[in-house]
Amino acid sequence: MIRASYLILALGLVVFACTPAAEDHGHSHDEEGGHSHEAGASMDLTLWTDKTELFVEFPALSVGHTSRFAAHFTVLKHHQPVREGSVTVSLVKGDKGIRHTVDAPSSPGIFGPSLQPKEAGVYQLIFDLTTPAYTDRIVVDSVTVYASEQAATEALAGEAEPGGLISFLKEQAWKMEFQTAPVLKKEIFEAIPTSGVWKVAPADYKTLVATTGGMVSFAVNNLTEGSAVKKGQALMSVSSAGLTSGNLATEIRKAKAALEQSQSEFQRKKELFEADVVAKADLEVAQEKYEVAKATYDGLVSGYGSAGKTIASPINGFVKSIAVQNGEFVEQGASVLTVTSHQSSLLQVSVGAGFAGKLQSIEDIRYQTAPGVWSSLANTGGRVVSVGREVEADQPLLSVFAEVNDLVEMPEGSFTEASLLVGEGHTATVIPVAALLEDYGAYTVIVQVSGESFERRSVVTGSRNGHEVEILSGLIPGEVIVTKGAYHVKMASISGQAPAHGHAH
């Protein structure tokens, strides 16, 4: 999912009894990673890309005045502060501009670049982030540079952030399991909630057999079910040494003698045929005997060594089952072990017979590859293999089998929550189910109004697609909600107290 860029701009007139910043283009910032606002109007911006959230506070830009930024950068994956890297802030108009780079955060997630504009006007404000893991660019269009601090104060008067919001600081969110996500507009289907059982796809099974009779010897120490194996790896050997019948060494000697005799006969008939002494039919009979003898000999010696006949894995994968014990005698053709690649899995989903008509229009199946981790056939290229059409007295449910091309961490035979998406889809507003807070049957969500300001909002829910839920009212696409940590923000609103503020004002 590619997240579009969103922008929340809050303009506030904030007056502080602080010492004004120096007018030179200095790089100073407080060592604790907080930030101070100079006297006058201040601004804050919250912007998102698909990788980063930027929440930045700074004095309104004015000519000749140095504005120092407190730029909070959050890596959206796992919602953690940017701990390493550099940030360049640029103020650009046409082909001219100024910029300032800081090579490291003053504290985790917080960078303190500063700018001193030379001319009033409307500019682009650009933040370039470079980290060891990735780079990102965040652009704010139409940022005004005022002719003076007084002009900025007058222009921004009355633009304070609305009241009644919940304050929850970046430093607080970074210390806990916290995550946000955008409200999306997407296609949604009728969902049939059910459960399924994980099975290994039949095509992934490889059953190995003893190609000769004899005593089994494990070639791998501690060979057990679940052991990882590689293609071509010797797993067992079967030795017929000492047996009076079915002795492989004796059979190989006999096959070698027969091969040598048939090869000599074939060579002799070939020379006579070239001399027009024997018919072509005689040559073909000799050739056939030679090829059969060679195939027999090659089959006997393939994988044969001092320990006997080797049984090797034909694929990369895992041992599913072992049918024999070390030192046990096996007959030729007996199954000895089964390996599986686990490249794909088979999911058996059961639903009530009342849904039979809807099972003919399955659009997708959602499932959990691990507890709490949802995926779907549509996202991974899986497919529905078959849909049951009959039920029995002792089995009143219909089975749907699906091939899943996904890394399934759940063991074979385990259950998973599942959801069948059926019928005609319709476009709806959708959020993760994890974002919902339930109070006596009513639902609310926590909306991120700006970087450190949140709002608790009531919503009305509709259909559910596994880990997603349709929102009938209360949210609009593009808004950002809290999907992990919403309870902590809720508790902050109930207590009426914000956490100890990490910024120096």
Give the whole-angstrom CA distance, residue 264 versus residue 270: 10
Q: Is the pLDDT of residue 299 over 70?
A: no
pLDDT number for residue 21:
32
Whole-angstrom distance, CA of residue 183 vs CA of residue 482? 10
**Residue 25 predicted with pLDDT over 90:** no
What is the pTM (predicted TM-score) of this model? Answer: 0.61
Distance CA 245, CA 299 (A): 18
The Cα 468–Cα 39 span in angstroms is 46
Tell me the C-alpha distance between 103 and 96, whole Å: 23
Assess whether pLDDT exceeds 60 at residue 6.
no
The pLDDT assigned to 467 comes to 79
Q: Kindly tell me if the per-residue pLDDT of 461 is higher than 90.
A: yes
pLDDT at 198 over 80: yes
**Confidence tier at 5 by pLDDT (50, 70, 90):** very low
Instruction: Tell me: pLDDT of 72 over 90.
Output: yes
- State whether residue 296 is helix, strand or coil: helix
Q: Is 97 helix (H, G, I), strand (E, B) or coil?
A: strand
* Mean pLDDT (the chain, rounded): 82
Please report where in the chains the tokens 């946000």 appear, as a residue. Answer: 180
Of 99-108, 236-245, 410-419, least confident by mean pLDDT is: 236-245
What amino acid is encoded at 375 in this protein? S
Per-residue pLDDT of 81-127, as tens digits, reads 999 999 999 999 988 999 999 999 999 999 999 999 999 999 999 99
pLDDT at 203: 66
For residue 50, give the nearest of 147, 238, 182 by alpha carbon.
Answer: 182
What's the rounded Cα separation, in Å, for the pair 60 and 43? 6
Closest CA to 91 of 144, 48, 47: 144
Report the distance separating Cα 171 and Cα 435, nearest Å: 21
pLDDT greater at residue 119 or residue 264:
119
Write out the H or E segment, with its range, that includes residue 267: helix 248-274
The residue ranges of DSSP E strands in 373-452, in sequence order, are 373-376, 383-387, 397-404, 415-432, 437-439, 442-450
DSSP sequence for 209-257? E-SS-EEEEESSTT--TT-EE-TT-EEEEEE-TT-SSS-HHHHHHHHHH
3-state secondary structure at position 20: coil
Q: Tens digits of per-residue pLDDT, 347-379? A: 999 998 888 888 888 999 989 888 888 888 988
> At residue 37, does pLDDT exceed 50?
no
More confident residue, 250 or 412: 412
> How does residue 32 score in pLDDT terms, banded at 50, 70 and 90?
very low
| 187 vs 111, more confident | 111
Class of residue 331 by CB neighbours under 10 A (exposed 0-12, middle 13-18, buried 19+): exposed
pLDDT at 413: 84
Q: Which two tokens stand for residue 319?
A: 């041992």
What pLDDT is attached to residue 13?
33
Residue 307: CB atoms within 10 A of its CB come to 14
Sign for the pseudo-dihedral over CA of 365, 367, 373, 379: negative
Give alpha helix (H) positions in 318-390.
377-380
CA R_g for the chain:
36
Structure tokens at 90: 């640029």
User: Has residue 73 got a pLDDT over 90?
Assistant: yes
Residue 316, classed as helix, strand or coil, is: coil
Banded pLDDT at 243 (limits 50, 70, 90):
low
Distance CA(234)–CA(406), nearest Å, equals 28
Q: Work out the average pLDDT over 214-226.
A: 82
Evaluate if residue 159 carries a pLDDT over 80. Answer: no
Binned at pLDDT 50, 70 and 90, residue 182 comes out as: very high
Reduced to 3 states (helix: H, G, I; strand: E, B; else coil), residue 492 is helix
Q: Nearest Cα to 337, choosing from 215, 201, 205, 222?
A: 205
Task: Report d(CA 204, CA 319) in Å as an integer.
Answer: 12
Class of residue 321 by CB neighbours under 10 A (exposed 0-12, middle 13-18, buried 19+): middle
pLDDT of residue 8: 46
Q: Assign 54 to helix, strand or coil.
A: strand
Q: What percent of the chain has pLDDT over 70?
A: 83
pLDDT in tens, 300-311: 667 666 567 788
**Cα torsion at 359, 364, 370, 373 (round to 10°)?**
-130
